[in-house]
Structure 1
Amino acid sequence: MDYLPIFADLKQRPVLVVGGGEVASRKIDLLRRAGAEIRIVAQTLHPELLHLYHQQQVTWLAQVFEPQQLGDVFLVIAATDDSALNAVVFDEANRRHRLVNVVDDQPKCSFIFPSIVDRSPLVVAISSSGQAPVLARLLREKLEALLPASLGKMADIAGSWRGRVKEHLSSMSERRRFWEKAFGGRFAAEVEAGQWQQAEQTLAASLTGHQQDGGQVTLVGAGPGDAGLLTLRGLQVMQQADVVLYDHLVSDEILDLVRRDAERICVGKRAGSHSVAQEETNRMLVDLAQQGKRVVRLKGGDPFIFGRGGEELQAVSAAGIPFQVVPGVTAAAGATAYAGIPLTHRDYAQSVLFITGHCRPDGDALHWSTLAQGHQTLAIYMGAVKAAEISQQLIAHGRAAETPVAVIGRGTRADQQVLTGTLQELEQLAQQAPSPALLVIGEVVTLHQQLAWFGHQLQTDGFQRPSVVNLA
């Protein structure tokens, strides 16, 4: 994050603007809307600024910039066509630890103006850190169309009710839930319809009849890594969570989408090293929900495919706690799609088997003779450590040593790697692949070279080629 987004209170605070042209006029209009006290240094004033000066709404401080003019100002803006003067203003402001913006000169800015969607008191600010202002403006235009004008009035009414709601509901989480229901229900609809008095009556009735919600658990599949594969429902419950228990396989990009003030607890497990025992995770889910919290259990991929989601919900169900499940894109579906490997294809594979390479020591052994049959695809989770055994057993039970295989490391992520070869080379490929890795065995792997698209560089585009190793 190149700039910290903050909202500054400029009411009655002095702001120095060096420059009096059209650009300066636009900046001053924005500053005046925020209540700033405007001081201008310029040889001449744009007609609009001159009009404001005659109405005593701005101060024309001087015609020539002097460093002492920075003495008690809050912000500084340089908006002249004299680059040398702008540089002097920037240096002098920096020396005095004043925030300064040199218009259209991003390196000489200690703060920048974002694109703004104004639904006061609700304000949305969008910035590209000065790198792509046109892109920020286009995004603002999209948001202008999406956000109704009634949002400002809704925020006004909510602000006037904050004290009463706080008196009635002592818990911060209960107050948040009250407002979530209000902003998504009848109150919001009445404000949008201009029925403001009725909207306040609805708030009053909702507050009087408000009942404290009990805790609940939501099991959410985060997908294989790319935040774009997270479901809309998954994002919604993550934004409502009081606490999130997550695994190591959940990417940082997805964790960034969790509600900012939600508690985050890592209960991840890595091969050969269990940082949190499964029984402890089950207990935490129950304990947190019994405290009345909205608990989100965030798992990589889909929680019901080799994710122990069923075991965790059994514990939650036994404790009588309400729960729901938000499925996710499982690694076999996501990683192979991003690698351009169809799991089934009528010329190569009529079935696909999802297999875990990390079985319980006391569990049943894999049926190798079934797995070794042709015309099927094997998608093996957590199989990198046992790649040698998998290769040996499949070949011993009849699968050809030349069967195409792929090891997809960190599938769907920006640093995805796809390593291809043959079944007899599976161990070597697995040792080279980054974790987490998915093993894919079957003739469909031959389509990778033709169908790879994610990060793949063709002569006619500018995409970056993924890291690909072919041992065949």
Structure 2
Amino acid sequence: MAISGLIRRPSVTPDAHMAPLARLPVFFGLKGRRVVVAGEGSAVAWKAELLCAAGARVEVFTPAPVPELESLTRAPPDGVLVLHPRDWRAEDLTGATLAVCAFPAEADAVRFADAARAAGVPVNAVDRPNVGDFTFGAIVNRSPLVVGISTDGAAPVFGQAVRAKIEALLPAGFSLWADAARAWRRSLSGLGLSAQARRAFWERFSAKALTEPNRVPEAADREALLAGAARVAGGSVVLVGAGPGDPELLTLKAVRALQSADVVLYDDLVSAAVLDFARREARKMLVGKTGYGPSCKQDDINAMMVTLAREGRRVVRLKGGEPMIFGRAGEEIAACRAAGIPVEVVPGISSAQGAASRLMASLTHRDHARRLQFVTAHARNGRLPEDLDFKALADPVATTVVYMPRHTLKDLVARLMPAGLDPSTPAVAVFAATRPEERIARATIATLAEAVDRAVDEGASGPCLVLYGHALAAALADAACDDTGAPPASGAAERPAPVRRMGGAADRGGAHPLEVAGSGL
């Protein structure tokens, strides 16, 4: 589509190359195929049972069979087990799909592995990852849903701990849904569904399996899922809140939306770590709206969303923070509705919530704040909005959160004092809330503008949020104790405010512009 009149044009983010893999995870189909197992001891029986469970014809060569092997021969979990009570020979490997050995001596394992490779057979040596070609790892079995876990032999016990965690997260009933998926996939292939309708079906299937994991899927479920998929087979738009920056603050619904997107239109405030959750094939386009800097026009962003959705694409409009708070979500929803495009909203953690969590401050402390108010200090012309209710903003029993404050903070403070706000009211500016580069400047409302300028001079960057009100007093006093190791002296809030760096959790994104016109922070 043609986009005219932009100061900044949307740009496509190139996908990063995949990080190196210690092992390539693969899943062998072994039904009816021949696998050779050789060696001594209980490990031979364990591997034989595992391979039989995968449906293989397992031939075991061991001069001293353990009792478990003899019982497995009589009743294998699946497939066939043939026991040869003798040492292996090179010709035994001919025609095998895989080979596995378990020997006490490494020299015996090396000799077996060399013979298997000479026969063109991939080989595993139990407890000797340096000898074999592949390893098994830990397994979570919800067949046909199977999860494999590998530490490349570095920490098997850790792998087992991860397996236990995943076992607890995956209900046993998932196997019922995976069975239904296998059965229904065959019938769906003959219905002539479009690619979008098929994906919509499986997205809804997955959501239903996650919410009702221990119920047996029925034919009625299949028909309901088909009907729902047909309704959204065309394009759609989802407005997704990316949160303040820490990717661990994404909601599960936001992750699912990102993993089903064809196109992701994202703002400057969205961290790179959040974008990593988008499916690899998705096209990622920066349409950032940066205050006092190059920006895409909102009308052009709206037009792009509509055009892409009309092409049958699933569009995720990814916005920093909570899209319904100073995020121009209303304009984008209206544009989609006017064009007849299905649109939904996935809420996100707002930057106010993120900042409060880092300050460990209750914004609605019952002894200090009877209400919480959000306000933007940035009008369309880049100046302080003239229609602000300064009397309400000076309310001594309110906690106020100011979005996009950097360039108008001095004007805001100058208007609050005559409106009755106590100059000693506790105040704080939070830069890049919840991210590794997070910085916090504490002050009173009267001295906050100077504290913010000083923080910027000292390297603070990223989206900035201002909070003030008496509900913050205890949290800011506790933070001052953390900085100095002792309680603040009387009148400490009047001293020049220190800047405190606080590491966020797991965000890999870089710094972003301080204000973003029209983006929820």
Give the alignment of 1:259-278 within 5 angstroms. Answer: 259-274=279-294, 276-278=296-298
Report the identity percentage. Answer: 35
Residue 461 of structure 2 corresponds to residue 439 of structure 1: no
95 and 450 in structure 1: CA distance in 2 versus 1, 3 angstrom threshold: farther
CA contact (8 A) 1:52 1:58 kept: no
Q: Who is 1:380 aligned against? A: 402
Which one of 316, 337, 356 corresponds to residue 336 of structure 1? 356
Amino acid at match of 2:189: G
Kindly indicate whether the alpha-carbon contact (under 8 Å) linking 1:222 and 1:298 is maintained by their aligned counterparts in 2.
yes
Residue in structure 1 matching 2:451, options 391, 405, 425 = 425
CA shift in 2, pair 1:30/1:271, >3 Å: farther
Number of residues of Structure 1 aligned to a counterpart in Structure 2:
448
From the superposition, tell whether residues 9 and 81 of structure 1 become closer, same or farther in structure 2 (CA, over 3 Å). same
Question: Unmatched 5+ residue regions in structure 1?
Answer: 459-465
Q: Distance in 2 between matches of 1:356 and 1:107?
A: 60
Distance 1:184 1:38, change over 3 A: same
Matched AA of 1:172: A
* 1:436–1:116 Cα change, 3 Å: same
1:177-256 superposed matches below 5 A: 177-180=200-203, 213-256=233-276
Residue 187 of structure 2 is aligned to residue 164 of structure 1: no
How big is the shift at 1:133?
Answer: 2.4
1:75-98 Cα shifts (integer Å, max 9, x gaps): 565544446766888899999998
1:57 aligns with 2:84: no
Change (3 A) 1:180 1:336: closer
Residue 116 of structure 1 aligns to a residue in which SS? strand
Please report how far the alpha carbon of residue 276 of structure 1 lies from its aligned counterpart in structure 2 after TM superposition. Answer: 3.4
Contact persistence 1:173–1:242 (CA under 8 A): no
Could you say which residue in structure 1 is the equivalent of 2:518? none
What is the root-mean-square deviation in Å for CA atoms of aligned residues?
A: 4.8
Cα pair 2:236 2:312 within 8 Å, conserved: yes
Q: Quick check: 1:215–1:293 contact (8 Å CA) kept in 2?
A: yes
Aligned equivalents of 1:262, 1:408: Cα separation in 2: 32
Range that drifts further, 143-152 or 72-81: 72-81
Cα deviation, 1:283-341, whole Å, max 9, x if unaligned, reads 11111222233333221211121211122222223323332333322111222123202
Q: Go from structure 1 to structure 2 and tell me whether the alpha carbon gap of 1:123 and 1:401 turns closer, same or farther (over 3 Å shift).
A: same
CA distance in 2, matches of 1:91, 1:248: 55
Q: Which residue number corresponds to residue 434 of structure 2?
A: 412
Counterpart for residue 463 of structure 1: none
Residue segments in structure 2 that go unaligned for 5+ positions in a row: 1-20, 486-499, 504-521
RCO comparison, higher one (Cα < 8 Å, 6+):
2
**1:174 match:** 197
Q: Distance in 2 between matches of 1:240 and 1:411?
A: 28
Give, in whole Å, the separation in 1 of the partners of 2:401 and 2:477. Answer: 20
Task: Give the direction of change, closer, same or farther, for the CA distance of 1:253–1:13 in structure 2 (3 Å limit).
Answer: farther
Structure 2 residue corresponding to 1:153, chosen from 154, 157, 179: 179
Distance 1:95 1:355 in 2: 73
Structure 1 position 49, deviation (Å): 3.6
Per-residue CA distance 1:373-393 (angstroms, 9 max, x = gap): 644433222334555665666
Aligned residue among 381, 392, 398 for 1:361:
381
Distance 1:91 1:376 in 2: 76
Between 1:415-424 and 1:290-299, the stretch displaced more is: 415-424
In 2 relative to 1, CA 326–52 (structure 1 residues): closer, same or farther, beyond 3 Å?
Answer: closer
Aligned in 2, Cα 1:405/1:286: closer, same or farther, shift over 3 Å?
A: same
Deviation at 1:261, TM superposition (A): 4.4
- The answer to whether residue 47 in structure 2 is matched with residue 23 in structure 1 is no
Residues 188-223 of structure 1, C-alpha deviations (whole Å, 9 max, x = no match): 99x96586xx669x659968x956744332222232
Shift of the 69–234 alpha-carbon distance from structure 1 to 2, 3 Å rule, reads same
Q: Name the CA distance, whole Å, in 2 between partners of 1:149 and 1:315.
A: 42
Residue of structure 2 in register with 1:142 after alignment: 168
Structure 1, residues 164-189: CA drift from partner, whole Å, max 9, x if none? 13xx22x2112222445567789x99
Establish whether residue 318 from structure 1 lines up as the match of residue 338 from structure 2.
Answer: yes
- Cα distance in 2 for partners of 1:93, 1:415 equals 53
Moved more, 84-93 or 19-28: 84-93
Cα 1:62–1:206 shift into 2, 3 Å? same
Q: CA separation in 2, counterparts of 1:383 and 1:49?
A: 73
Q: Tell me, what secondary structure is at the counterpart of 1:136?
A: helix
Could you tell me how far apart the structure 1 residues matched to 2:431 and 2:472 are? 15
Secondary structure, counterpart of 1:301 in structure 2 = coil
Using a 3 Å threshold, how does the CA distance of structure 1 residues 337 and 212 change in structure 2: closer, same or farther?
Answer: closer
Going from structure 1 to structure 2, the CA distance change for 1:140 and 1:28 (only over 3 Å counts) comes to: farther
Compute the displacement of 1:401 (Å).
6.0
- From 297, 300, 312, the counterpart of 1:280: 300
Cα deviation, residue 126, structure 1: 4.7
CA distance in 2, matches of 1:444, 1:129: 51
What is the letter of the counterpart of residue 433 of structure 1? A
SS at match of 2:323: coil
User: After the TM superposition, which of the residue ranges 175-184 and 85-94 deviates more from structure 2?
Assistant: 85-94
Partner of 2:310: 290
- TM-score, with structure 1 as normaliser: 0.73
Larger CA deviation: 81-90 vs 270-279:
81-90
